[in-house]
Structure 1
Amino acid sequence: MNDFLSLDTVSANITNRVAAGGVLRGDLSWNGGLLVQGHVDGSPLVVHGALVVMDGASIRGEVTVHGDAFLFGQAGEHDVQGGNLQLTVHGIVKIGPTAKTYGRIQCQSFETYVGSQVNSTITTNVATQ
């Protein structure tokens, strides 16, 4: 486990945002990184940037990221069989100190930070794209 996590939103190409209190559902896609401060549920696709899920925010569904993912909020659900999450990341997943994960995560590699609650099956065989 690591002790310090930093995020450069410029290099992560964060150009899209789901604001706190916002809820998006369905088959969604973003060109550029996505900052989630609200809730996303469905089949979101993030290309040409990172996915950032902030503390207090959540994602669930079949999520695909062509970049890195930074998790500070909740990914999946704890009371649903399978966690209601299939997160596929063509890059690195960083699970921050306030994150809670449930479900399945596939990625190139991952890092966890002190305080994170990882309740997921993580597979590290996804190629970078």
Structure 2
Amino acid sequence: MAIPGMIASMSFALVEAMNLMFMGQFGDPALVAGVGLGNVYITIFGIITIGGINGILSTLVSQSYGQGNLYLCGVYLNRGRVIIVIAFIPIAFIMISAKYFFEFTGVQPNTAEQASLYICQKWL
């Protein structure tokens, strides 16, 4: 049962590594730094949040399935979908305002711009 999750995690990491390798071909350190910073930002504020909600949902659905209550499985699934859609709204705002976050934390303006563009292209 863990194999699909492992494949998904490995493919996600592979895409991030390929993005870094591709940007490294241009020879601009700001591009590489922007992609790396964008990957970390997306992982922290997006992937972990949605993954946490999905983990909670997985626990609740498996418990209700173990009890033999398929109706409750459907209720949890539909509520989880609604919660994820609602959670995406502030996450989208956080992703859009990444440039301001980077500038506030002292990241160089060129790197902050590249990271912000990467985040908006990849996430939204």
Give TM-score scaled by structure 2 length. Answer: 0.20
TM-score normalised according to structure 1 size: 0.20
Q: Which of the pair is proportionally richer in helix?
A: 2
Higher RCO (C-alpha under 8 Å, 6+ residues apart): 2
